[in-house]
Amino acid sequence: MASAAGPLAAGWSVHSVWMRRRLSVARHDPLSGLWTRDAFEHRAARLLARHPHVAVVLVDLDGFKALNDTHGHAAGDAAIRATAAGLAAALAPYRAAVAGRLGGDEFAAAVVLPYPVASSWLLRGLHDEITAPFRHDGRRLTVGASIGGALSSAVPAGAGRELPALLRLADEAMYTAKRGGGGWQTAGFAPRCTTTTGRRTGRPGTHTTPRKEAS
């Protein structure tokens, strides 16, 4: 019996490793290598539950469609990979961080900060890294970026420190930056925009009847 159990146990061990690898691949975006939306949200929520100062960040690339139209989809793919590399470089100095690609040219991060004022350094560093030139097919290309951030400890207790609320704040701040021509913006204490299914009204995926968030 023992001799028969050996190969069976080994088989289950190999199958378990294979399953874990498959799950890991499924949770990573194949182009950028970052976490997918669901995997990012799970890990970001865990950081929020464990640390007092967490910055939730949304990044939207500026000029991405023009880059695709001018230089082709391969250049767009290179921009996505360069953005992921820029995110990784900017987040490396921090104690704990998670980054994900939410879809298209939209990215998110949750970063544990040593103290609240570090959020300004974080957003500036992210913008510098993401907008740095990258090379594709012998060309030196760039994209712009609009970045919004919301700091968990800047929101009063009981006023919405959960991830969905902070993502809405970061989303509003990001669009404030975009309306100003790009750059980065820190959110205020409460959303000042309408949202639909947790996203700013008017954004892709918000075609259902909008509702006002309670103020």
Measured between its terminal Cα atoms, the distance across the chain in Å is 67
d(CA 213, CA 215): 6
- Known active-site residue 105: yes
d(CA 164, CA 81): 26
> Would you state the structure tokens that stand for residue 91, as one six-digit string?
């987040």
Residue with tokens 């913006």: 185
199 contacts 206 by C-beta, under 8 angstroms: yes
Degrees to nearest 5, angle at CA 103 with 73 and 204: 105
In 3D, which of 193, 162, 181 has the Cα closest to residue 56?
162
Selecting among 105, 128, 137, 171, the annotated active-site residue is 105
Active site residues: 105
